[in-house]
């Protein structure tokens, strides 16, 4: 009998600054209704200069882990396309500052926005094997921040966040169904980060590749099942969310695999099955690998009627590209696990910043990239460091000394 493998706990670190879309639209001369009603974005998270993907990863996981959890973790995977070093993996900093055992196997994983889901599946596979101890757990952390994109059409869909995902053989939140998955890989030049400063690509190509990947992965998923199913096989559906509005198109594409429905009916199905999952992510912006796991928390926070054993369809896409459609069952304490994440409160606690403050933060962070010696200032944002960080034991980025990154506790 296969063990139950899946997500036991989740925590999200949505950064601590927020830029509201009406403010950005006013500054850029863009219709806010387009961003609100079509892109389905209300706010985006932003990082002060003393945060980076390493600090976000640690600050996501630290409140979630008990001392027992730490001792049981035998695998740490940090998935990101925002790596801060071309050689040293972020997982080593994360292992140190979380206080994980020296025996933990750790890696940094890169595959655009698919890296998180790929890491979860690899971790689940290891936990189901005889390669780890009976009490073993795995920790997967997804952590990303966007580059500077002033006045670009895609500026509105950028963001920052980290999500910590603890996997175990007795998952409270989400049990991954063994054997129920489909993968579709296709090399394509859609989005790219060719240097430490550049994040660019062709958004139209990326949208087409995202939908092609969904169709291919869902076809592969359906081929593994013993008998035909309908779309109602899934109680709810979660789709990778580079921006929330793409999930409308994803729903229509998925429904074609089940015979298709009229556009108005597809919209109704999307509103019933997928819209509730967007509760939190539309307040954060682009969260890269984190998006489907933030959507899972949002779904549980939005739908108290969901019950243990309800099947959720999950779709992940990463540029370049790899796509996966898989399914899982809600665990016996799924709502409790989502509530413990306290994501709504964390979003409310962020400091709202002006467009000018957002631009200053982005420029300061960008000017330091590739510099070998500098100290990060904690000034600005109306005393935000003193108010929100000082004495609170958040990991912060202090700067570089001969290219070696320096971290410490606030």
What's residue 2's pLDDT? 65
Task: Label residue 201 left, alpha or beta by phi (over 0 means left) and psi (-120 to 50 means alpha).
Answer: left
pLDDT of residue 341: 98
- Cβ 362 vs Cβ 150: under 8 Å: yes
pLDDT per position as a tens digit, 21-39: 999 999 999 999 999 999 9
Domains 6-173+345-409 and 177-334 share a fold: yes
Bridge-based pairing of strands 6-13 and 174-185 is antiparallel
Domain 177-334 top-level CATH class: alpha beta
List of long-range contacts for 152-157, beta carbons under 8 Å, 24+ apart? 153/203, 154/203, 155/24, 155/28, 156/21, 156/24, 156/25, 156/30, 156/35, 156/39, 156/41, 156/44, 156/243, 156/285, 157/39, 157/41, 157/242, 157/243, 157/285, 157/286
Residue 196: its pLDDT value, please?
85
What's the CA gap between 280 and 42, in Å, rounded? 10
Count of other CB atoms within 10 angstroms of residue 99: 11
Q: Where are the domains of the chain?
A: 6-173+345-409, 177-334
Query: Quick one: pLDDT at residue 94?
Result: 98
81 is catalytic: yes
Helix (H, G, I), strand (E, B) or coil at 80: coil
pLDDT tens for the 410 residues of the chain, in order: 567 999 999 999 999 999 999 999 999 999 999 999 999 999 999 999 999 999 999 999 999 999 999 999 999 999 999 999 999 999 999 999 999 999 999 999 999 999 999 999 999 999 999 999 999 999 999 999 999 999 998 899 999 999 999 999 999 999 999 999 999 999 999 888 888 888 888 888 888 999 999 999 999 999 999 899 999 999 999 999 999 999 999 999 999 999 999 999 999 999 999 999 999 999 999 999 999 999 999 999 999 999 999 999 999 999 999 999 999 999 999 999 999 999 999 999 999 999 999 999 999 999 999 999 999 999 999 999 999 999 999 999 999 999 999 999 99
Q: What is the pLDDT of residue 198?
A: 86
Residues 172 and 153: their CA atoms lie apart, in Å, by: 41
pLDDT of residue 257: 95
Per the residue annotation, which of 25, 74, 111, 113 is the catalytic one?
Answer: 113
322 assigned to active site: no
Q: Is 400 in the active site?
A: no
User: Are the beta carbons of 94 and 78 closer than 8 angstroms?
Assistant: yes
Active-site position among 111, 184, 240, 280: 240
Set 43, 51, 74, 81: catalytic member: 81
The domain 6-173+345-409 having CATH identifier 3.40.47.10: the answer here is yes
- Most distant CA pair in the chain, distance: 61
Of 112, 101, 39, nearest in space to 73 by CA: 101
């Amino acid at each position: 009998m296969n063990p139950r493998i899946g997500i036991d706990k989740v925590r999200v670190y949505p950064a601590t600054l927020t830029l509201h879309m009406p403010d950005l639209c006013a500054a850029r001369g863009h219709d806010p209704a387009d961003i609100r009603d079509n892109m389905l974005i209300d706010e985006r998270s932003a990082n002060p200069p003393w945060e980076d993907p390493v600090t976000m990863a640690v600050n996501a996981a630290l409140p979630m882990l008990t001392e027992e959890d730490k001792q049981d973790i035998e695998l740490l995977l940090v998935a990101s396309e925002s790596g801060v070093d071309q050689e040293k993996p972020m997982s080593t900093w994360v292992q140190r500052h979380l206080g994980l055992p020296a025996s933990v196997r750790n890696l940094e994983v890169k595959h655009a926005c698919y890296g998180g889901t790929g890491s979860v599946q690899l971790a689940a596979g290891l936990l189901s094997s005889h390669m780890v101890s009976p009490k073993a757990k795995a920790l997967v952390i997804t952590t990303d921040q966007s580059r500077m994109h002033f006045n670009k059409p895609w500026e509105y869909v950028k963001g920052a966040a980290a999500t910590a995902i603890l996997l175990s053989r007795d998952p409270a939140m989400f049990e991954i169904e063994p054997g129920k998955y489909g993968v579709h890989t296709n090399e394509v030049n859609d989005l790219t980060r060719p240097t430490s400063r550049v994040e660019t690509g062709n958004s139209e190509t990326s949208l087409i590749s995202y939908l092609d990947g969904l169709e291919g992965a869902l076809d592969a998923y359906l081929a593994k099942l013993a008998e035909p199913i309908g779309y109602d096989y899934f109680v709810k559906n979660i789709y990778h969310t580079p921006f929330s509005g793409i999930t409308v198109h994803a729903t229509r594409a998925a429904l074609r695999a089940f015979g298709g429905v009229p556009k108005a009916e597809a919209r109704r199905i999307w509103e019933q099955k997928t819209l509730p999952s967007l509760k939190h992510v539309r307040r954060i912006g682009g969260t890269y690998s984190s998006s489907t796991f933030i959507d899972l928390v949002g779904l549980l926070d939005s739908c108290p009627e969901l019950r243990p054993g309800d099947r959720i369809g999950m779709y992940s896409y990463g540029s370049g590209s790899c796509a996966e459609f898989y399914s899982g069952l809600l665990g016996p304490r799924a709502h409790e696990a989502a509530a413990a994440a306290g994501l709504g409160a964390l979003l409310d606690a962020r400091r709202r910043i002006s467009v000018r403050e957002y631009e200053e933060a982005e420029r300061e962070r960008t000017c330091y990239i590739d510099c070998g010696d500098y100290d990060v200032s904690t000034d600005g944002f109306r005393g935000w460091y003193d108010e929100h960080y000082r004495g609170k034991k958040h990991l912060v980025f202090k700067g570089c000394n001969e290219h070696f990154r320096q971290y410490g506790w606030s």
